[in-house]
Amino acid sequence: DLHPPVISLAFSPGLGLFMAVLVQMTITGKSFTGGTMEITVAANLTASSQLWQDATGTPTFRTRSCHIALISVKTNLPSRMLPKVMSKFLDSTLQKVLPDLLCPAVDAVLNLVNAKFSTMTSEIPLGTAGTLQYALLNPPVTRETFIELDLKTILHQKEGKEVKLPMDQPPLASLPPKKDAATQLVLSASFLNAELSVLLVSFNLGISNNTVLGLPPLVTTMLGALIPEIAKVLPPSQPVVIEMREVTAPVVSITQGKSFVQLFSTATFWVSPSDSAPEFLFALDVHSNLEAQFSVAEEKLQLSLALQSVPQMALASSSLGMFDELPLKGLLAEIIPAAYVPSINRVLHEGLPLPNLLGITYQRANVSGFEVG
């Protein structure tokens, strides 16, 4: 009959965990006199485990030592029926038997914890754009009151090609202080840059009069009115399609005040007659600044963008000759927030999966500055 153990855990700085377990059990059997004998044993189990990094980049606990110390051994037999030599024999037998009986339980508990750690390195789909995988960048570090895991992300595009990520890490001094009694997840801007780069192909959008309500009329007559120097070479009153495409990875900047995403897009203008193939007109390089809002839902980091400004725009190529593209800036400042940004936000609504750390949930997480706590 094994009584519920009393377990005490403590972090061993630089190593892993220290465990002390008070074990009490009652062993029942027949005595040499033919009656029922009960032996009540109290023992103290102490074990230490090391937290290290395996070949797959997964945190793993392994037992370093396990010791059993007998505290007391009592029987229901009168002392006159249990000679001193018998007591010594009982003590020595228990000293030999208990480690093989109890120490494997420590390994079993650690294996359960390791099984939870192993889910952290599973591949996670990023919609249909690719996959994400978390792994340890450096061996785990055990502090006096918490464990610190330095994670890296392994990103693959839909075709299986791995996305190269910067290996430079922010200095620890720049990270927010650890809060008591809380699990803290600090996400870097480079992490978000990498994840958004995998989703780039999903941001592409063709914008026409039928895309959303409230757009300016997208016809060649409107373009001619904005840019008189090309009015004569434009076909009259033909529908125009603007193809928005990201050409380089977004740049995310995160501060404790506001966070921003810079998009570097190409806006390609086409004439799209109903009875023939689209004809290329010109393409613009567009640099947009968007404010980013973060939240957590369904164990994922949610990101929502809102256009702040279009600081730069330049003519990249043209079939109509050179012209002053500045009058088109106001047009794009209307089209991007009305059609393009909502389309990107629909893609981002799928969320960025957060690491599965020992089965913790993020349902009650607070997002502040550049951390998820």
Structural domains present in the chain? 2-119 (3.15.10.10), 178-353 (3.15.20.10)
- Please state, in angstroms and rounded to a whole number, the distance separating the CA atoms of residues 209 and 239: 8
Burial class (CB in 10 A: 0-12, 13-18, 19+), 303: buried
- 115-165 pLDDT per residue, tens: 888 888 888 888 888 888 888 888 999 988 888 888 888 888 887 788 776
pLDDT band at 373, cuts 50/70/90? Answer: very low
- In degrees and rounded to multiples of 5, residue 336 shows phi and psi of -60, -50
Instruction: Assign 344 a pLDDT band (cuts: 50, 70, 90).
Output: very high
Q: How far apart are CA 19 and CA 282, in angstroms?
A: 69
Model confidence pLDDT, tens digit, residues 31-77: 766 778 888 889 899 999 999 998 888 899 999 999 988 888 887 77
Quick check: helix, strand or coil at residue 325?
coil
How far, in Å, CA of 113 to CA of 358, rounded?
Answer: 7
pTM over cut 0.85: no
CB-based contacts of 41, cutoff 8 Å, min separation 6: 23, 24, 25, 26, 27, 70, 72, 73, 94, 98
Q: pLDDT value at position 176?
A: 63
Task: Return the minimum-mean-pLDDT range out of 90-104, 109-123, 256-270, 304-318.
Answer: 90-104
By CB atoms closer than 10 A (0-12, 13-18, 19+), residue 208 is: middle
The rounded radius of gyration (Å) of the Cα atoms in the chain is 33
Residue with tokens 């094994």: 2
Of 33-37, 225-229, 280-284, the range with the lowest mean pLDDT is 33-37
pLDDT of res. 227:
92
- Give the residue from 352, 368, 369, 321 showing the smallest Cα distance to 130: 352
Instruction: Please choose, from the candidates 77, 98, 83, 94, the residue with its C-alpha nearest in 3D space to the C-alpha of residue 21.
Output: 98
Residue pair 289/274 in contact (Cβ under 8 Å)? The answer is no
